[in-house]
Amino acid sequence: MESTRHVGFLATASPMPLNPDTLLAAFATIPDPRRAASVVYPLSSLLAVLVSALLANQHSVLAIAEWAARQSDAILVPLGLRAGQTPCQSTLQRLLVRLDAAAVSAALSTALAQAAPAPTGRGSQGIAIDGKAQRGRLQYATGGCPVHALSALLHGTGIVLAHEPITAGDDKTEAELTVAPALVARLDWRGRVLTGDALFCQRDLCQQVLDAGGDYLLLVKDNQPSLLRDITWLFAPASEREAPVPLLDQRTARTVERSHGRTDDTRILTATTDVVGYSDWPGLAQVFRVERTWHADGRNQHVIHYGVTSLPPEVSDAERLLALKRAHWQIENEVHYVKDVTLGEDRSLIHVGQGPVVMAMLRDTVVSLIRHSGWRTVASRLRYLADRPAEAVALVVGSLSTRA
């Protein structure tokens, strides 16, 4: 049953007016799937409770409901709840099952776009797109249930700008390509660069980003055999070519690091514009080769990757291309890994209806709010907020467009 604390006339107080620049206001734009006669709590308030409790390191719906029941009215009223009333576990679960995941995704994209810094020029910001499976849910999935998702992360900020569910039963690779145009359409690409692995090196997707005023930087592998063959030939030693012609334009950048048990981790990117005018790939301005060598587990390792970009050298030199290439994998380390290990996504027991995908989007939002507030280590901040619920709620009800 619902938790109700008797506090006299405050129990009939009206919800506080919404600041339009907040996450709470964005939640208010989502269609409510419940019957009007059965509504006790505003939809926006229930979603705000979910995010606030996740920020306070509560992972399950039961833990979230119990967290809300422990809070004072001073904590809960700013979320739009009436004084003395908090939702129970079943109320939250029923809502999660029935929510329109696409509407939630659109509302969150609009809200978090306000938190993103403005680009300072062409190619000044990178947006990484990558898919993630909810591995713990695969055994429960049936056709039509989202168990994968495609996300878009703004490089260097930790802000997840968009999240697109992928339906169970589809081939994962094909499904990611199917939903990628919808994810791209949701974002403002002016001054931004799409980064991704070779899966997203597709003519239509590159053209879509170009038409939206953006650029792309993507790896090339066997899914584009002709393009890969041309680039490989271009960078091959002269002795391996039938017609040995040296590169007329050749620029390089190099980094050396030691981390994660790897020593002498060296990356050398070589870029050229020699392919321009010969390839019909949309907007192609440069191609590049990345050679990586490192030592780990007593062995020397060596890999070579090739890629394409619409960024011309006067906008992005070899150093910038290498930085964009490397920054792409922030989406794995700063979002996917954090959601699994710190926020317990793969261990989640929410398996019904739209609940898993909505909770996945809310976990993205938690990571975005923490990183946007200036904290890089999500786990330590969650522990901190677990003892300070007012600060967790402040992240949900505070202005996204003005917070540092």
CA dist 375 and 373 (Å) reads: 6
Instruction: For 201-236, write each residue's pLDDT tens digit.
Output: 999 999 999 999 999 999 999 999 999 999 998 888
pLDDT of 13 above 50: no
- For residue 306, report the phi and psi dihedrals to the nearest 5 degrees: -125, 155
Q: What is the SS3 assignment for the chain? A: CCEECCCHHHHHCCCCCCCCCCHHHHHCCCCCCCCHHHCCCCHHHHHHHHHHHHHCCCCCHHHHHHHHHHCCHHHHHHHCCCCCEECCHHHHHHHHHHCCHHHHHHHHHHHHHCCCCCCCCCCCEEEEEEEEECHHHHHHCCCCCEEEEEEEEECCCCEEEEEEEEECCCCHHHHHHHHHHHHHHCCCCCCEEEEECHHHCCHHHHHHHHHCCCEEEEEECCCCHHHHHHHHHHHCCHHHCCCCCCCCCCEEEEEEEEECCEEEEEEEEEEECCCCCCCCCCCCCEEEEEEEEEEECCEEEEEEEEEEECCCCCCCCHHHHHHHHHHCCHHHHHHHHHHHHCCCCCCCCCCCCCHHHHHHHHHHHHHHHHHHCCCCCHHHHHHHHHCCHHHHHHHHHCCCCCCC
Give the pLDDT of residue 262: 65
- For residue 28, report the phi and psi dihedrals to the nearest 5 degrees: -70, -15
- Which residues are CB-neighbours of 174 under 8 A, at least 6 positions away? none
Instruction: For 346-393, write each residue's pLDDT tens digit.
Output: 777 666 677 788 999 999 999 999 999 889 899 999 999 999 999 999
Give the pLDDT of residue 357: 86
Instruction: For 253-311, write each residue's pLDDT tens digit.
Output: 999 887 666 667 899 999 999 888 888 999 999 999 999 998 877 788 889 999 999 99
